[in-house]
Amino acid sequence: MAERPIRVLVAKPGLDGHDRGAKVVARALRDAGMEVIYTGLRQTPEQIVSAAIQEDVDVVAMSILSGAHNHLFPKVVKLLKKENADDILVVGGGVIPEDDIPSLKEAGIKEIFTPGTPTTETIDFIKKNVKRK
């Protein structure tokens, strides 16, 4: 039997409509053999966590270009912890200032991918850091 594919929830929290990056990442992960569940725009942290649990994903990957990352990314990590689902790998991307990255990582977002990062880097990171259940 083939190894089961890595399941990734690609979500866009917050109110901005910049979905190109999320879609580029979703397609890249698919092409790397992953099963990508795309939730679409304007998801609340509660919706993202609820979907992550029902879909039993290995990774939650979020994209924000609006500047709301300092609030929304840590909130998702916190809610996952509350649901005892903190074995899920959380990564983020989008327009995120260098200065914000250390505190986001401290809050439990394992890696942040900013504009210009090749998607292969994201793929490698996920493959290396995902915890298979």
Partner 1 sequence: MELGERLIKGDKRACARLISLIENNDNRAIEVIKKHYNKTGNAHVIGITGPPGGGKSTLTDKLVKLLRKNDKKVGVIAVDPTSPFTGGSILGDRVRMSDLATDPGVFIRSMGTRGHLGGLSKATKGAVNILDIYGVDYIFIETVGVGQSEVDIVKSSDTVVMVMVPGLGDDIQAIKAGIMEIGDIFAVNKSDLDGADKTALELEMMLDFKKYDTWRPPVTKLSAVKNEGVNNLLDNIINHKEDMLKNENFKLRREKNAKLEILNLVEEELMEMVHKITDEHEGLDTIAKKVALRKSNPYTSRDEIIKLIKK
Positive or negative, the Cα torsion across 39, 42, 48, 54? negative
Binds 27: which of partner 1, ligand B12, none (CB < 5-8 Å by kind): partner 1
| Among 61, 64, 54, CA closest to 77 | 61
The answer to whether the beta carbons of residues 89 and 58 sit under 8 Å apart is yes
Place of tokens 């725009």: 41
Binds 61: which of partner 1, ligand B12, none (CB < 5-8 Å by kind): ligand B12
Residue 1 or 21 with smaller CB distance to ligand B12: 21
CA distance 38 to 24: 12
The interface with ligand B12 within residues 94-133 (CB under 6 A) comprises: 94-95, 113-115, 117, 119, 122
Residue 71, interface with ligand B12 (CB under 6 A)? no
Residue 102 or 115 with smaller CB distance to ligand B12: 115
Choose, by CB under 6 A, the member of 16, 35, 55, 100 that binds ligand B12: 16
Alpha helices by DSSP H, listed for the chain, are 20-31, 45-54, 69-82, 101-106, 119-129
Which positions lie near ligand B12, rule CB under 6 A?
Answer: 16-22, 24-25, 61-63, 65-67, 91-95, 113-115, 117, 119, 122
